[in-house]
């Protein structure tokens, strides 16, 4: 029987008096591509931040591997790709992408940069790359430790069709290898690949769709 990796139990998150997320309950197993879909302001990014432990819910509980999400601070357990890449500009593309592995004394996958079309840019400083290249570098950093949970906020942003294909391939490879990928996106190409679709409207979860 599959053990759920991420659980949200009646989670509400308030911004002032406004509920950005309202009474959301979820149970998410590993090795799935799960998509949060909805308009801007529907609560997608907030849910990712709650699972990442960056935010604590106003009410309810978020757990990862049975522990409160706010106590999990391990790139190999939970890794977040924010909407903005947040790279260290003075470090090279490779140094940024491999940073979590370097901090843990682990050898990164030598093919990861090539799979994301970044191998030719490996020694270039991050500040000397395009926004799309920075986003793919941040994605490589998110996946470099093969995390149990990868939280991805619009991972195909700023990419042309060729590089979208590389991003989608990297996502499907990560899921095949056992990662739970929880993706907030408007991109129909990712939605079409989803194992599970979670539609959000005004912070509330609508009926879950088992896509595959």
What CATH number should be reported for the domain holding residue 14?
Answer: 3.40.50.300
**What's the domain range around 40?**
6-205
**Interval 142-157 mean pLDDT:** 97
What's the token pair of residue 162? 């060729």
Mean pLDDT of 71-94: 95
Confidence label for 58 from pLDDT (cuts 50, 70 and 90): very high
Identify whether 122 is part of a domain: yes
How many angstroms separate the CA atoms of 61 and 44, rounded?
A: 17
Position 103 in a domain: yes
pLDDT at position 1, please? 42
Element (H, E) at 22: strand 18-28
Using left for φ > 0, alpha for ψ between -120 and 50, and beta otherwise, residue 82 falls in: beta
Structurally, how many domains does the chain consist of? Answer: 1
Chain mean pLDDT for the chain: 95
Residue 31 lies in a domain: yes
Contacts of 28 (CB under 8 A, 6+ apart): 4, 5, 6, 7, 34, 180, 182, 196
Whether residue 2 is predicted with pLDDT greater than 60 in this model: the reply is no
CB contact at 8 A, 166 and 136: yes
Q: What average pLDDT does range 52-81 have in this prediction?
A: 96
Q: Look at residue 77 and tell me if it is in a domain.
A: yes
Q: Flag whether 210 is in a domain.
A: no
Rounded CA separation 167/115 (Å): 8
Q: Is the pTM of this model over 0.85?
A: yes
Q: pLDDT class for 212, splitting at 50, 70, 90?
A: low
* Residue 157 domain flag: yes
């Amino acid at each position: 029987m599959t053990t759920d990796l991420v659980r949200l139990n009646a989670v509400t998150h308030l911004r002032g008096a406004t509920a950005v997320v309202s009474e959301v309950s979820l149970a998410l197993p590993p090795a799935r591509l799960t998509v949060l879909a909805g308009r801007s302001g529907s609560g997608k990014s907030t849910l990712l931040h709650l699972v990442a432990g960056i935010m604590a819910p106003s009410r309810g509980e978020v757990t990862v591997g049975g522990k409160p999400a706010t106590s999990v601070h391990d790139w190999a357990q939970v890794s977040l790709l924010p909407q903005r890449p947040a790279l260290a500009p003075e470090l090279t593309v490779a140094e940024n992408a491999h940073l979590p592995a370097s901090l843990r004394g682990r050898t990164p996958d030598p093919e990861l940069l090539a799979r994301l079309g970044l191998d030719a840019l490996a020694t270039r400083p991050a500040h000397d790359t395009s926004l799309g290249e920075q986003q793919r570098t941040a994605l490589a950093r998110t996946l470099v430790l093969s995390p149990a949970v990868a939280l991805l906020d619009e991972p195909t942003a700023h990419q042309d069709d060729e590089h979208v294909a590389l991003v989608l391939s990297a996502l499907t490879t990560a899921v095949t290898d056992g990662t739970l990928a929880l993706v907030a996106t408007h991109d129909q190409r990712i939605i079409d690949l989803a194992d599970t679709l979670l539609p959000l409207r005004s912070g509330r979860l609508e009926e879950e769709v088992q896509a595959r």
